[in-house]
Structure 1
């Protein structure tokens, strides 16, 4: 959709260098960055192969070979392939460690599922939730992940338990199914905003992303799916009229409210929401969206959990924990390296190309771009802005390869701007990179 530029090469080079430097600096200097693994990732070196290895390699090869043809298929068939390929890619990478690759982390004492199994009174849980966040509430304080999120996160797993899906394997499979729809929501959003060509071109990158390594075994993948569908329904609302527009807007508001009740950091999705409204050139959905958010967040407040009261308490616990030992001088930039591992290095070329195209257009150095290119540029740069704001907040020192999963697909839509040659080799590079990370690092999620 755009010509190859020096920006793409520069972006790719900077991204690879950033990852390499972030990995090399701690062991070479002896800097204690408290990564709990191979900085900037969370997990130790552990070269291995496993049951999922053959399937992962086969899917990677198939994606590279057949992606150009599949992206030209009818829209509904493309969506089906995106979901099925996403499920296959996530499961094959996770099962490099056998079923433990899905179940082990979900069953960890610091995660949501063990706590969800103990909750029998949701009302009581909500009323005492804030009081049990601080370390000083020990021995009755919440485990790390439960305390670090609003109660919506653990309530998702409470629901699974009550539906009879409370085993780690069953919960993991539900997460995979939900996570596989994230790409569909992103692509539908782009298409609705007039960017179908860009959606088709970026589809393979949304599926074959290294982020899949963390999407089969972490609640953050669920947060990413909910956020993506909140943005998708917002796009549907902004491009519809009448009752249908109001219904979509209300649904979007409810989903945005759920986002806020699952992760404090998802408040930053507002940047992407603004990008959607700008592309749609419509503010009509806003009253209904706000009403939906108020309904959800206000409802939880009435039930006993006030989001605005919990956030400062969580902030104090965060700085009382390991975060205070993780140096900002390293993690402020190493976080970006960890995110680059999750997106894959091609994201650097995509972001640089999007930035260069936007700058050239704003300065009048380039004629008007096709609508599909504009959609990809705006969404990609909005995602990057969101990541930079999250990084500046200093509320996520390390582990962002999973924490920032909701921003990964929106960053990767920028791959639509790359030429076919860049895309072909870039997709192969992404697949190889994901396979190497999975088989060399025993990721903690």
Structure 2
């Protein structure tokens, strides 16, 4: 039975690899047939460029050490030191991968191009006025408009970068580091959620995989990596508030609601992150926490609305610019499955094996972790079939991908090190063979 389980795991990995190869072959054929899908190395937004950099030895050392020592440390360390170590290690892993491309290209320059958030920061001399008139500059068929990423998102994320600039942390370097610090904390937030919901053993087993996440290639540096961290901590605080009692629990629930509300103003697609929060409430059935969290969400919505930004107007205008953009020309019938190939590259073979085991035996995980994984899967599928996620999902779906890692807790302990090696090798290959845009 043990050997059969490994055989099925490897079969799932083989199927994922076949999907990636098929997406690459069909993508290249589309390019040869003059379909401009705007991908240099389908299914990823990247180009073939084998290289090494100052982050190469760092990333290799972290991968080796974590594969060798991570599982044992995850089981043995006290909880708080474990979380701090996981976060710190995830930061080093992510930063090491980013520095494979060098500081200027891999970190400082990522968010400073003429399509990114920092390009528009100097335009903001009055933050209230910016929020009040934000939707006036979303449409791109006018002389003055927001850059691609500013206009395609609600103003919350842009506001964060404006605030960083206001406190003296302007420029691509500080912004890139801030994104890495927040994005790399997602593994700790997922662990906090699981422990709060009574599954500390699952949290400890999955944590090394959360740290050695192949998607760290895009967490460093894309704003979507930061989105993953903010969403994960919103869910974590909600879980803490829903499983404890007293003032601290109420504060946690409200704080979780505030973060979840702010997530809505980071990216329109993150409304699907509500499925993760719903999973927490289904498990706990703590309606006081639900009410407090809802109050937190509504407070954020009210604040942005009062400031002059109406979320649904922004979404409507986004659909207009999307319909006129290059992305609209990307064939749905290709990306509806090629997107999943990109997700495979961002989450890694261990996640495929873990999901395979969970699908084969849904009760092999406690209810809470299983529901969280299911919520992430549903969110991904909903985003996929919507047609609003055509390519670049290796970064766009990071907020959901970090939760798929939970299924790795089902991998047999005797195989865990090898699965961690596989995760690290995938990330290292992607980052050293390809030059990713994010």
Change (3 A) 1:301 1:409: same
Aligned partner of 2:423 in structure 1 is: 430
Aligned partner of 2:138 in structure 1 is: 133
Aligned partner of 1:399 in structure 2 is: 392
Larger CA deviation: 67-76 vs 425-434? 67-76
- TM alignment of 1:142-153, pairs within 5 A: 142-153=146-157
Shift of 1:10: 3.5
How many angstroms apart in 2 are the aligned matches of 1:182 and 1:241? 25
CA displacement, residues 329-360 of structure 1 (integer Å, 9 cap, x when unaligned): 111111111111111122111112112211xx
CA displacement, residues 254-292 of structure 1 (integer Å, 9 cap, x when unaligned): 111100011111100111111111222333322212211
How many angstroms apart in 1 are the aligned matches of 2:277 and 2:54? 40
Mapped pair 1:12 → 2:13 = yes
CA displacement, residues 72-97 of structure 1 (integer Å, 9 cap, x when unaligned): 22112211210111111011111111
Aligned partner of 2:58 in structure 1 is: 55
How many angstroms apart in 1 are the aligned matches of 2:72 and 2:253? 35
Mapped pair 1:45 → 2:38 = no
Aligned partner of 2:242 in structure 1 is: 238
Larger CA deviation: 8-17 vs 389-398? 8-17
- TM alignment of 1:121-270, pairs within 5 A: 121-136=126-141, 138-270=142-274
Q: Secondary structure at the match of 1:44?
A: strand
Shift of 1:436: 0.2
Mapped pair 1:290 → 2:291 = no
Change (3 A) 1:373 1:422: farther
How many angstroms apart in 2 are the aligned matches of 1:432 and 1:276? 33
2:124 alignment partner, one of 109, 116, 119: 119
How many angstroms apart in 1 are the aligned matches of 2:137 and 2:5? 54
Aligned partner of 1:365 in structure 2 is: none
How many angstroms apart in 1 are the aligned matches of 2:221 and 2:125? 24
Larger CA deviation: 314-323 vs 428-437? 314-323
How many angstroms apart in 2 are the aligned matches of 1:143 and 1:36? 20
CA displacement, residues 144-195 of structure 1 (integer Å, 9 cap, x when unaligned): 1001100001001001101111121111111111122211111000011011
1:347 alignment partner, one of 344, 351, 365: 351
How many angstroms apart in 1 are the aligned matches of 2:404 and 2:260? 19
CA displacement, residues 347-401 of structure 1 (integer Å, 9 cap, x when unaligned): 111112112211xx4xxxxxxx5xx643332221221111101111111111111
Instruction: Note if contact 1:376-1:416 (Cα within 8 Å) is conserved in structure 2.
Output: no
How many angstroms apart in 1 are the aligned matches of 2:51 and 2:277? 41
Q: Secondary structure at the match of 1:34?
A: coil
Aligned partner of 2:378 in structure 1 is: 385
Aligned partner of 2:71 in structure 1 is: 68
How many angstroms apart in 2 are the aligned matches of 1:395 and 1:155? 24
Aligned partner of 2:402 in structure 1 is: 409
Q: Secondary structure at the match of 1:109?
A: coil
Q: Secondary structure at the match of 1:387?
A: helix
Mapped pair 1:34 → 2:43 = no
Instruction: Note if contact 2:71-2:416 (Cα within 8 Å) is conserved in structure 1.
Output: no
1:84 alignment partner, one of 88, 105, 108: 88
Shift of 1:68: 2.3
Instruction: Note if contact 2:153-2:268 (Cα within 8 Å) is conserved in structure 1.
Output: yes
Aligned length, in residue pairs: 432
Aligned partner of 1:376 in structure 2 is: 369
Q: Secondary structure at the match of 1:135?
A: coil
Instruction: Note if contact 1:33-1:327 (Cα within 8 Å) is conserved in structure 2.
Output: no
How many angstroms apart in 2 are the aligned matches of 1:104 and 1:421? 42
Shift of 1:112: 0.5
Larger CA deviation: 415-424 vs 430-439? 415-424
Change (3 A) 1:412 1:35: farther
Q: Secondary structure at the match of 1:285?
A: helix
Shift of 1:113: 1.1
Instruction: Note if contact 2:242-2:290 (Cα within 8 Å) is conserved in structure 1.
Output: no
Gapped runs of 5+ residues in structure 2? none
**What is the TM-score normalised by the length of structure 1?**
0.93
Q: Secondary structure at the match of 1:430?
A: helix
Q: Secondary structure at the match of 2:110?
A: helix
Q: Secondary structure at the match of 2:40?
A: coil
- The CA RMSD over aligned residues, in Å, is 1.6
How many angstroms apart in 2 are the aligned matches of 1:28 and 1:283? 53
How many angstroms apart in 2 are the aligned matches of 1:405 and 1:240? 29
